[in-house]
Amino acid sequence: MKDDAKDSRDGAVRRHWFFDLDGTLARTGEDIIAAWKKSLADLGRECPRFDEVFTIGPTIEKVVYDLFDDATPELVEKVVARFRVNYDESGFPNTIPYPGVPEWLDALKSSGAKLYIVTNKRHAPTQKIVGKFGWDSLFDGVWSFDSIPGVKCRKPDLLARLLSEMKISPSDSVMVGDTKGDIDAGSVNGMHTVGVAWGYGSMEELAGADEIKDRLP
């Protein structure tokens, strides 16, 4: 695969590539949805509008409030606890990298790029999926919103913190994602942004990206 650290639009070479996970690197939706539905069934909660409202990307807590108008902190706590058990212990049988993604990552790595994952997914399942794919040595860092003890970081804030702590120039970095939240997180930090059209976001969400990939060679 011919795809290195050079951006295809402006020809600039950027060495630090930050990737979202769900919908960007991996198709995770089937296992996530199955764990959600099992968790709600375990708690005796019906949600007729689940398929209409549910989206992949936000935190578990936000999803509960989106799904239930009568959501309370107590309900959120119960659903979160149940979902974590059901999802983390599922083994992620249907979670796979998107076609072409492993080759893309290998090409970037071979070109000398540094690769990172920055995701709203919790740290525990993120690490399990990275391990399942054999990507432990491929990525130079893997961060979730809860990776930093005692701190829950939104993606824009997490990126800002990582760029600062690792002394990475935004002009030397790329944020790759499938949703508006990913693109906005990169843009607000002055990073080059790449939207991928094969994930869970819409083309409209990716309109603000510097570049859009609709397929991989």
Q: In the annotation, is 172 catalytic?
A: no
Q: Are 1 and 104 in contact (CB under 8 A)?
A: yes
Q: Are 4 and 111 in contact (CB under 8 A)?
A: yes
**Smallest Cα–Cα separation from 217: which of 98, 126, 123, 95?**
98
Which of these is catalytic: 3, 4, 10, 20? 20
Collapsed DSSP state (helix, strand, coil) of residue 26: strand
**Smallest Cα–Cα separation from 14: which of 101, 114, 96, 106?**
114
One-letter identity of residue 106: D
Q: C-alpha angle with apex 117: 149 to 153, nearest 5 degrees?
A: 35
Task: Give catalytic residues, as residue numbers.
Answer: 20
